[in-house]
Amino acid sequence: MGSRFDEMRIFSGNGNPDLTRLICERVGVPQGDATIVRFSNENIFVRLNESVREKDVFVVQSLSTPNLSDRVMELLIMLDACRRASAGRVTAVIPYFAYGRTDKKDQPRVPITARLLADMIQAAGAHQVLTIDLHAGQIQGFFNIPTDELTAMHLLVRYWADKGWDDMIVVSPDVGFAKRGRNFAEALGAPLAISEKRRVQHFGRHDGSHTSAEILNLIGDVAGKRCIVVDDEIATGGSILEVVQLLEREGAREIYACCVHPVFTASAVQRLSNSGIQELVTTDTLPLPPDKRWPSLTILSVSHLIAEVIQRIHSGVSVDTIFTQRNHPALGR
């Protein structure tokens, strides 16, 4: 099926240029030529150095740290530039969607920042959105434009399945992730354990509020088994390390972990690399410079998944069939 647009163009922000390069290589198109400049007054300027009139344009931008606010503004300005340059269709490709934890009003007088960000992306000129494993499923409903939420969990499942272990047990770090943890365990043909956790909120006079995790209980028997703790993202590593300590107390034989989004803020790298985790597996939805890597960290690329979906969107082919074909190349084989 042919596209109704003349050609495809893929542009990159500064959020994850290495991932964009891999996507372009897999799609088989050169990366779009654009200039992004941050002036001394901190204003961001974007210029597209080639025509996008009536073309199918994809803007790839992970909303990563450091300089998260700059990454958000780059995305919005690039979308606006494409719209004003008469692009036929503009798709915002956001491998990691920031502010995913502020998806509801769970305290008095607080914003729903994820909804605000969705509104800004639409106002800037995006005709549709492509993202991976949102922290909260309802964020997809914040958009009034077509939004495809992909999952990289299949890549992680394939990685562990290839180990051929017969004593695996999947561990969900909290009850909120239990449904996705159950699906992960079923895909591996392994049992599921769930750590019951509550978050304790602390209020300070000057520094606002913050939360810390407290592990209460473990539902499931992990004694003598290889445990695989799975989550959608790891930020400070505090929650997952609490789970690791609990599993050690419960007699786990070996402990592994995996996540889709390696946020790795603060002292997460040092804490995780010095923990009892034998291997941590993640993806490249976010850039991982050398100082955020260690020997037992394994990184799987989502470039082939995103590239396949971009080609399908451009050609008008269904996306969901990727996940119904167990040995589809986009899922790692």
Query: What is the full per-residue pLDDT of the chain (333 aa) written as tens digits?
Result: 566 777 999 999 999 999 999 999 999 999 999 999 999 999 999 999 999 999 999 999 999 999 999 999 999 999 999 999 999 999 999 999 999 999 999 899 999 999 999 999 999 999 999 999 999 989 999 999 999 999 999 999 999 999 999 999 999 998 889 999 999 999 999 999 999 876 666 655 555 556 665 657 899 999 999 999 999 999 999 989 999 999 999 999 999 999 999 999 878 999 999 999 999 999 999 999 999 999 999 999 999 999 999 999 999 998 887 776 656 666 654
Report CA dihedral (145, 96, 200, 242) to the nearest 10 degrees: 140
Task: Give the integer Cα–Cα distance in Å for 104 and 140.
Answer: 13
Please give the pLDDT value at position 333.
44
pLDDT of residue 212: 60
Q: Supply φ then ψ for residue 168, to 5 degrees.
A: -80, 150
Per the CB < 8 A criterion, the answer to whether 39 and 262 are in contact is: no
Q: How many CA atoms lie within 13 A of 223 on its CB side?
A: 2
- Name the pairing type of β-strands 280-283 and 297-300: parallel
Domains and CATH numbers, the chain: 8-152+303-331 (3.40.50.2020), 153-300 (3.40.50.2020)
Torsion angle in degrees (nearest 10) through CA of 262, 267, 268, 274: 140
pTM over 0.75: yes
Catalytic residue among 55, 104, 163, 197: 197
Q: Which amino acid is at 329?
A: P
The answer to whether 197 is a known catalytic residue is yes
- Please tell me the distance from the alpha carbon of residue 238 to that of residue 234, in angstroms, as a whole number: 9
61: its two tokens:
């931008």
Q: Is the peptide bond before 66 cis (omega within 30 degrees of 0)?
A: yes
Could you give the count of Cα atoms lying within 13 Å of 324 in the half-sphere of its Cβ? 4
